[in-house]
A and B are shown apart, each in its own frame.
Chain A
Amino acid sequence: MKPKFAKTGLFFLILSFSLFLTLGMSWAATSGPEKEGGKLPVVTKPSGPAEKVEKFVVRGREYGYESIDNSECLGCHKKINQRKFAQSVHGANSCNSCHYDITDINVHAEARKARIHAGPVTCHRCHKKEAEEHYASAHFLNDIQCKDCHQDIHEMTPWKGDKVRVIKTCTTCHSYDGYSESVHGKAVLEGNPDSATCSDCHGLHKIPLLKGDEPKTVEFRKEFHTEVCQKCHADKEMMERNKVFLIATQTYYESYHGKVEHLGYPKLVAGCTDCHGFHNILPPDNPKSLISEGRLVETCGKCHRHANANFVQ
């Protein structure tokens, strides 16, 4: 390399290096403090006429409302048992925390046809999560509101995850469809908290549409024919506790049916419920079961039209 060339090259190298160095350092310096600054604005409670009126707290929210003493309501509304209401889960509330449009008892007593908002319009003020879930559910779309399931609204005690109560509530309208004889049903009715009740598969409030109006999407079929079962059947500990076939989900996903389902094409292959049934799930030694020896050809034959006795071996 010629000396002049080398000198110029070195000069430019040092120049560009120092340029980049200063640029980089100044960039680093400016982006630093941003991370520590900027506090979130503090939420302050609005001040208002609340000081003058009796306040009470329902689910962490303050209501500066003039509440009416329950005994005043129950003086006329004798059907509601005051003791049971007090012991219920809403016992700490006043009547007009739900029936909030009753502001003055005298006006209400004199008016004929006093309107009472008792449906979801009121429940959602506190039960926001459930209201959200219910809003898009099959029940709401068929005009079934909170009170239709929660008929004992004034006496409701906390359910504490009692699955039998769930069954009782659902079957006020829906038929058993073989559930009470099924493996799941029997276990729940015996008090096993692991087994599946209506809400474990269908959800409590967020009940999606299924038959008939079922959105014919792939995800839907995948969810309700197979995925919903995985919640428990993929949990090895739970299965072991209850002496259920441990590797059911594992072997399913190793099979052709499972692989195609996992890849996202559940319409083409069998999901859990296509073979085992939905509500009437029975062990294979029960002749009524869809997977009993006598019924296998019929079950497999739902898709494999040419199935014969050999096929199901």
Chain B
Amino acid sequence: MLYGTFVLMTGLLVSVFGVFWLHTFLWWRKDFWEKRELRARGIFFPQHVRPDEAGHIYRRFSLFDIVIHFTMMVTFIGLVLTGLPLKFSHAPWAIGLMHFLGGARMAGLIHRICAGITFAYFGTTMAYIAYFLFFKKIRGNPGFFQRLFGPDSLSPRWKDIQDIIGMIRWFLNKGPKPRFDRWTYWEKFDFLAVFWGMFAIGFSGLMLWFPGFFTLFLPGWILNIATIVHSDEALLASGFIFTVHFFNTHFRPSKFPIDTVIFTGRFPKYELVEERQEHYRRLLAENRLETYRDKYPSVGTDLFSTIVGFAMVAIGLLCVFLIAWEFLV
């Protein structure tokens, strides 16, 4: 049973990373090539916006989105840093890192505090989803299914499948880049992976945190399974975020070195037009584009976004390095 769990989890990790790292590589190649071609032709400025409209800024994320993402980011890093030395306890850096965190007891405490906060924002997100699906005032008052599968939803839909196929074609120089609406399929996957991760990691984590309670009605060997599930899922989540998510959002040649939109909440018009064309057209058609118009981010926001953003990315890369060391050395 225990071995079976191990096999299953390893299989899951291998398949997810296999698929997404391939996707990442193909995307990188295409992006690199396209950027090269444009620059070789002397094109440095975005093409799809008039020069006098270049400075127009539009809001993408609300304050709520920003706060939740920041909280999630910090607690995620906290969880990963405190969990890594335990999972890879025989690695040469494990003792040092554990010592840096203040010892096993302190690391455990930090881990549980971050976990608690994670449950909190998970609950908040669930509440928001309920609000979005049932209560939010949206123009035209769409029904439940229209909301769930509409363009503003994070739920996968038919268009995402079409986009994936379109992207693969574009990677292989066989078609144009697809036109995306508000949420791209990779952003949806990032969201849903964490969503699913919450159940696996969160639930197994709770079992390990309160073994006495859970063994009141569950057999003890479930704790061994919980250990495997918890640590392998966490490896999957952290490995995915620090490689695939970082690439998709920050390291692609067109975005490098960092995309601060998640902290500023705003992006310039050319990005809206070039990268979210469906969304742009929909807003124009509904005459709602200018309601999203916003000011250029303040100095404080700018500094915070770049510095904190970079710090998080750096820590994430450090974690990848530590994990990679474990598997390669």
List chain A positions with a Cβ less than 8 A from chain B. 253, 256, 258-260, 262-265, 268-269, 304-308, 310-313
Neighbouring B residues of A269 by C-beta, 8 Å: 104
Provide 30 A-B residue pairs closer than 8 Å at the C-beta atoms, listed in order of the A residue: A253-B89, A253-B90, A256-B227, A258-B89, A259-B86, A259-B89, A260-B86, A260-B89, A260-B104, A262-B89, A262-B90, A263-B85, A263-B89, A263-B95, A264-B98, A264-B99, A268-B104, A269-B104, A304-B212, A306-B211, A306-B212, A307-B212, A307-B215, A308-B212, A310-B216, A310-B217, A310-B219, A310-B220, A311-B211, A311-B212
Task: Considering the complex, give the chain B residue whose CB is closest to the CB of A259.
Answer: B89
B256 interfacial by beta-carbon distance below 8 Å: no
B221 interfacial by beta-carbon distance below 8 Å: yes
B46 interfacial by beta-carbon distance below 8 Å: no
Counting from the closest, the 9 A-B pairs by CB-CB distance are: A306-B212, A259-B89, A313-B220, A265-B104, A310-B215, A311-B215, A313-B219, A263-B98, A311-B220
Give Cα A76 to B90, complex, Å. Answer: 65
A313 touches B221 (CB 8 A): yes
List chain B positions with a Cβ less than 8 A from chain A. 85-87, 89-90, 94-95, 98-99, 103-105, 211-213, 215-221, 227
A263 touches B94 (CB 8 A): yes
Give Cα A304 to B213, complex, Å. Answer: 12
Rounded to whole Å, the gap between the CB of B79 and the closest CB of chain A is 16
Rounded to whole Å, the gap between the CB of B260 and the closest CB of chain A is 37
Neighbouring A residues of B217 by C-beta, 8 Å: 310
Neighbouring B residues of A260 by C-beta, 8 Å: 86, 89, 104
Task: Considering the complex, give the chain B residue whose CB is closest to the CB of A262.
Answer: B89
Neighbouring B residues of A307 by C-beta, 8 Å: 212, 215
Rounded to whole Å, the gap between the CB of B224 and the closest CB of chain A is 8
Identify 13 new A-B residue pairs, CB closer than 8 A, beyond the known A264-B95, A264-B98, A310-B216.
Answer: A259-B86, A262-B90, A264-B99, A265-B104, A265-B105, A268-B105, A306-B213, A307-B215, A310-B217, A310-B218, A310-B219, A312-B220, A313-B221
Most chain B CB atoms below 10 A, which of A269, A305, A311: A311
Neighbouring A residues of B218 by C-beta, 8 Å: 310
